[in-house]
Amino acid sequence: MLLEKNGDALATMLRSGRYVDRPSIYFVLNMKVKAPFQGYFHVHEPETVQIAGRVEFDVMSGIRLSTIGSFHQNDRLSGGEQRWDCIHGSATNGRLLTLLDCRGHEDTSIPGIPEGSFSSACMLVGHQHFDSSVPKIKSSAFRVTFLDEWLNRSGVSYESSRTEHGSFTATHKHQGAISLHTGSRLKVSIWHHTTTPMFGGHDVLRKFKEQAYLNVEYVELTTIEQAREDMIMLRDLFSLFMSTPIVVQDAVVYIEGEKEDEGRRFEIYFPLGYEYPSHEEHRGQYMVLPFDDIESSVGDMIGRWVDLYPSVKRGISFYHESYFSRTRHAFQKFTDYVFSYESTNRALHEMERFPTEEYASLRQQIMARLEPKYTDFMNGVLAYANEATLRQRLKASFIRTELSTVFNKKAMNLHIDRVVNARNNIVHYAEINNNENVSEENVIEYNMLLRLITVAELLLAIGVPQSDLLSRLKRNSNFGFLLSGQTLTTKVD
C-alpha cells in the first residue's frame, strides 16, 4: 500500500530514472572497521607458527597489527625491521584476514613473551590471499563520495496500477549496469545496489534505499595491488568531475568463481592518508562535470585519464592530502599546492627555454671550454637549466586556461610573482609573510588559486573544451569566488 502523497512525486522520479530530490533514499557508509579483529595469525604456509594478535584500522594512520608471540620458530631470532609479503589470520568472529606488504618489529630482547607491532599497506577481510603477486582479481566494486549526486539517476524504474478501491500495486525493475567506459585493460560501469521493502505497510517508497557503486571489470585477471591503485585512480578522476577531493568507500574485490560462491568476494581496506570530509564542508559545492552533462564523452575522458594517471598521481596525492588536512598550517598547504601544481604541470607539458638541439649544442660548447675540476659542478648546473621555471609555467597556465582573461595583465603578473617569491623564500630561507609575496592575510586565497589552476589544467587534459572550462569551474563555490571578479584580498587595478 502506498500513500497518495508519496505516490505522485516519487513515482514521477522513479519513472524518469532521475532524482529531483532525494528524500530518504541516499545514505553513506564509510570505509571503516567497526571493531578491531582479534584472532590468530601466521606468515608461513603450511602454518608452522601461529600467534595471537589484534588488528585495528584507521583511515588516517592505517592498519596496525599488535601481536603476542613471535612469528619465528626460534623466539630469539630478531634484529631490525621485519618484512612480510603477507600475514594471514583467522579472527574470533570467523572472518579470514590477509594483511599485505607488512613491516614492523618484534621485541625479543627481554625475558618473557615477545610482543610485536606491524603496519600493513592493505587488508583483505573474508579471504586468505596467499600470493599477492599472482593476478587473481576479476573485478571490484566501490563507492566514492557524492557518487549518487553526480550520477543523478535512479537504479530502478517504477510502475503502478490502481485498484478500484483506491490502493495500487507498485512494481520496481532494476535498470541494470550503466556503462561508462570500455578499454583494452578494464571496463567501468555503475551498478545500483537496491533494497526494496517487502512488507512496509504504508509509505513503502519512503523506505526504499539504493546506492550507486563503481564497478571495474578487468579484461584479464589482475593483482590486488593494481585493483587498489585503480580504485584510487578513479577516485581522483571523479574528484575532478566534482572539483573537490573525495574518498573511496565500501570497497570489495572479486576473484574468479560462480556468483553463488561467497568465497569469491572479499572486502578491502587501505589507508587514505587523511580524514573523511564532513558533509558540511561541501555545502555550496556543485558538480562541474555531472553525468547528465558528459554522458556522451565520459568514456573518452576515462580513457584519457587511465593513460595519463601514472604521470600525475603523485601531484594529485599532495593535492588531496593538503586539502583534507586539519592540522597543517596554511603555509604548509601552500607549499604542498605549489608542489602539486609543478608536478602535474611537468607531467602534462614539456616546456623548454630553448629548442632541444640548440640547447644541446650550447651545453656541449660550454663543457668543452671548462677545466676538468669544474666539469661535475657544471654538469649539475646545466642538467635542468633548459627546463621552464615555475614563473614561466604559471604564466603559460594562466593563458592556456584563460585565467588571463579574469585578471588584468598587471594583476596576473603580481600574483605569479607572489607565488614564486613565497615558494622560494619558504624553500630556501624558511621565511614567510614577506611584503613581496604571499602574506598571512591572503595565503588561503592563494592556496585556492593554486588549486584552481591545477584542476583547470587537469580538466583540459581529459578533454573539457577550453571555451567551457571557466564557466564550469564557476559552479564550484570556492573557485567561483576567484572567478567572479572578487579575485584576491589585495586587488590590483
As a whole number of angstroms, the distance between CA 282 and CA 476 comes to 10
| Average pLDDT estimate for 342-362 | 85
Interval 388-433: pLDDT, tens: 889 999 999 999 999 998 888 888 999 999 999 999 888 877 666 5
In this predicted model, which residue has the larger pLDDT, 237 or 2?
237
Residues 6+ apart with CB under 8 A from 396: 349, 351, 388
Instruction: Answer yes or no: is 67 within a domain.
Output: yes
Tell me what pLDDT residue 19 has: 41
- The Cα 121–Cα 67 span in angstroms is 17
DSSP state of 352: B
Which ranges of 243-297 does DSSP label H, i.e. alpha helix? 291-294
Where in the sequence is the domain holding 72, given as residue range(s)? 37-125
Percent pLDDT > 90 in the chain is 38
Q: Pick from 89, 104, 125: which residue ends a domain?
A: 125
pLDDT of residue 129: 66
Across 69-83, 146-160, 239-253, least confident range? 69-83
Supply 479's cell numbers: 573557485
Q: How confident is the model at residue 300 (pLDDT cuts 50, 70, 90)?
A: very high
Residue 336 shares a structural domain with residue 188: no
Q: In this structure, is residue 72 part of a structural domain?
A: yes
The answer to whether residue 383 sits within a structural domain is: no
Query: Cα-flanking dihedrals φ and ψ of residue 154, to 5°?
Result: -85, 150
Whether 186 and 48 map to the same domain: the answer is no
Q: Is the pLDDT of residue 1 over 60?
A: no
Position 332 in a domain:
yes
| Other Cβ atoms closer than 10 A to 24 | 10
Mean predicted lDDT score pLDDT of the chain? 80
Residues 121 and 215 in one domain: no
Q: Indicate whether 317 and 466 sit together in one domain.
A: yes
Read off the pLDDT of residues 4-30 as tens digits, 9 standing for 90 and up: 333 343 344 334 444 433 332 322 334
Q: Specify whether 458 is located in the same domain as 322.
A: yes
**Domain-located, residue 297:** no
Q: Domain check: are 246 and 198 in the same one?
A: yes
Residues 458 and 324 in one domain: yes
Q: Provide the domain count of the chain.
A: 3
Q: Is the pLDDT of residue 207 over 80?
A: no
Confidence of residue 201 (pLDDT cuts 50, 70, 90): low
The pLDDT score that the predictor gives to residue 11 is 40
Q: Is the pLDDT reported for residue 237 higher than 90?
A: yes
List helix spans (H) across 243-327.
291-294, 298-324
Q: Are residue 477 and residue 337 in the same domain, yes or no?
A: yes
User: Is the pLDDT reported for residue 198 higher than 70?
Assistant: no
pLDDT of residue 20: 37
Residue 210 in any domain: the answer is: yes
- Asked, for residue 492, whether it belongs to a domain, the answer is no
Answer yes or no: do 166 and 269 share one domain. yes
pLDDT grade for 339, boundaries at 50, 70 and 90? very high
Based on the fold, state whether residues 147 and 99 are members of the same structural domain.
no
The predicted model gives 370-397 an average pLDDT of 84
Do 146 and 95 lie in one domain? The reply is: no
pLDDT at 282 over 90: no
Same domain, residue pair 327 and 412: yes
**Boundary of a domain, candidates 93, 125, 157:** 125
Does residue 202 fall inside a structural domain?
yes
Residue 306 · residue 185 · CB < 8 Å:
yes
- Reduced to 3 DSSP states, what percent helix, strand and coil does the chain have, rounded to the nearest 5? 40, 25, 35
Q: Provide the pLDDT confidence category of residue 329 given band limits of 50, 70 and 90.
A: confident
